[in-house]
Amino acid sequence: MQTDAMRSLLSAAAVRERAHEMLEIALVGGVGGWAVDLDRLPAAADLTAATTRDQYPDLQIPFHARARHFVAGRPKLPEGDPASRARAAFDLVILSVLLDAGTGPGWRFVDPVGGGTYTRSEGLAVASQRMFEAGALDDPASLDARTLAEGFQAGEDNPLLGLDGRAALLRRLGEQVRARSDLFPNGRPGGLYDTLAGRAQGGRLPAPAILETLLEALGPIWADRLTIGGVPLGDCWRHPAIRRDDASDGLVPLHKLSQWLSYSLIEPLEESGIEVVDVDGLTGLAEYRNGGLFVDTGVLRLADPDAATRAHNVSDPLIVAWRAMTVALLDRMAPLVRERLGVTATQFPLARMLEGGSWLAGRRIAAELRPGGGPPFTIISDGTVF
């Protein structure tokens, strides 16, 4: 029973259910530290729609994916048949997404190939792209922080948050790849392509199945996270507002990085000939750009404004609630954004709003309100969540 309750949390449906539950409780004042003003949601939708039209005037918007951040040019993948290229793309995307947590305000990467200077997610993407192309990520099980620092040009004068945590995460990934040859049949992260291709039915694969496979395959790589009944829960945290009469009492699954990776694997799958369906079965991402959008537009308001001046762990109930409500508010905002853009849900799934979209709107309003454009709170991160 305990194991079943834990496994029930390893899905996008569980993320969505408990996120909306958190928001409903907050709307009646039941979530400590937060007040919600849904009258401000149209303002967030206005900003998101305007940002989308500015970024994509023709509304031809790709899905939110790591590929959007390889801004220094399309990564070099080996020639070969579609499956071989998909495996190589999986290699790059999995490694790059796992390295994609908040950088801190000062870090930057100068591309040794093109000469451009990049920061934040784009900088991490280009840095990981160059390391991948140079073969520096061929054996993630042996990657150390020094090698990663060299590849990311990080040091005292160019600090990167969570460097040790990022390197340790990739080492655990390498160990998991070796331990689970059933899920990674070619001994590389990209072998997961074959597992997902094998789970497609009639050439079609539901997007939530990508997430469920990732949570099964990558669950053990997350250090210092909850493991209950032998089930590693990953990006899942405790909050007293969420009540159940089983072992999942008080647990709030979010699976941000795994969902970001799920979105990012859709294009390689489709380029190989597999149709990905039910993309809206995944949720919005519980990260600080989307979450910051709702704080900075006044949809979410701290009960104690001084809380914004203190540092918070990702496990703090204040942050857990913020992230969960972000997921629910993205669902609530999507119809408003579609209305403003004159598009349907079929034309404009959540993955397009995130890209168009809410993530960039969160970045832009943060830059207007705070020097450096950081999140509305100081969050203590090990480089594996935000």
64-99 pLDDT per residue, tens: 999 999 999 999 888 889 999 999 999 999 999 999
Q: What is the dihedral of CA 229, 230, 233, 237, to 10 degrees?
A: 40
Q: Is the pTM of this model over 0.85?
A: yes
Instruction: State the Cα–Cα distance between residues 221 and 277, nearest whole angstrom.
Output: 28
In a domain, 385, yes or no: no
Residue 256's nearest CA partner among 210, 279, 294, 287 is 287
pLDDT of residue 125: 97
Mean pLDDT score, 135-145? 95
Q: Is the CB of residue 146 less than 8 Å from the CB of residue 112?
A: no
Give tens-digit pLDDT for 318-373. 999 999 999 999 999 999 999 999 999 999 999 999 999 999 999 999 999 998 88
Range from 54-63, 160-169, 209-218 carrying the lowest mean pLDDT: 160-169
- Tell me how many degrees the CA angle 201-68-105 measures, rounded to the nearest 5: 130
Query: Can you point out the beta strands (E) in 144-202?
Result: none
Q: What is the mean pLDDT of the chain?
A: 95
The single-letter DSSP state of residue 67 is: G
Give tens-digit pLDDT for 184-221. 998 999 999 999 999 999 999 999 999 999 999 999 99
Preceding amide of 357 cis, omega within 30? yes
Rounded percentage of the chain residues whose pLDDT exceeds 70: 99
pLDDT of residue 104: 80
Query: What are the distances in angstroms from CA 181 to CA 216, 218, 223, 262, 360?
Result: 13, 13, 21, 20, 38
Instruction: State the Cα–Cα distance between residues 66 and 199, nearest whole angstrom.
Output: 23
In a domain, 8, yes or no: yes
Give tens-digit pLDDT for 170-194. 999 999 999 999 999 989 999 999 9
Q: Indicate the helix (H) or strand (E) that contains 281.
A: none
- Domain extent, residue 69, equals 2-380
**Reduced to 3 states, what is the DSSP secondary structure of residue 214?**
helix
Rounded percentage of the chain residues whose pLDDT exceeds 90: 89
Instruction: State the Cα–Cα distance between residues 271 and 192, nearest whole angstrom.
Output: 15
In a domain, 76, yes or no: yes
Residue 118's nearest CA partner among 68, 76, 166, 167 is 68
In a domain, 386, yes or no: no
In a domain, 58, yes or no: yes
Q: Is the CB of residue 127 less than 8 Å from the CB of residue 60?
A: no
Query: What are the distances in angstroms from CA 149 to CA 21, 198, 381?
Result: 41, 37, 17
Q: Which amino acid is at 189?
A: P
Give tens-digit pLDDT for 281-302. 999 999 999 999 999 999 999 9
Q: List b or e across 186-206, with b for residues whose CB sees 16 or more CB atoms inside 10 angstroms.
A: eebbbbbbbbbbeebeeeebb
Instruction: State the Cα–Cα distance between residues 358 and 372, nearest whole angstrom.
Output: 19
φ and ψ at residue 133, rounded to 5 degrees: -65, -30
Q: Is the CB of residue 149 less than 8 Å from the CB of residue 143?
A: no
Give tens-digit pLDDT for 304-320. 999 999 999 999 999 99
Q: Is the CB of residue 241 less than 8 Å from the CB of residue 55?
A: no
pLDDT band at residue 382 using 50, 70 and 90 as cut-offs:
low
Instruction: State the Cα–Cα distance between residues 370 and 119, nearest whole angstrom.
Output: 16
Number of domains present in the structure of the chain: 1
Residue 19's nearest CA partner among 381, 257, 329 is 329
Q: Is the CB of residue 172 less than 8 Å from the CB of residue 140?
A: no
In a domain, 101, yes or no: yes
Instruction: State the Cα–Cα distance between residues 5 and 347, nearest whole angstrom.
Output: 35
Query: What are the distances in angstroms from CA 277 to CA 147, 201, 217, 218, 265?
Result: 39, 11, 21, 22, 13
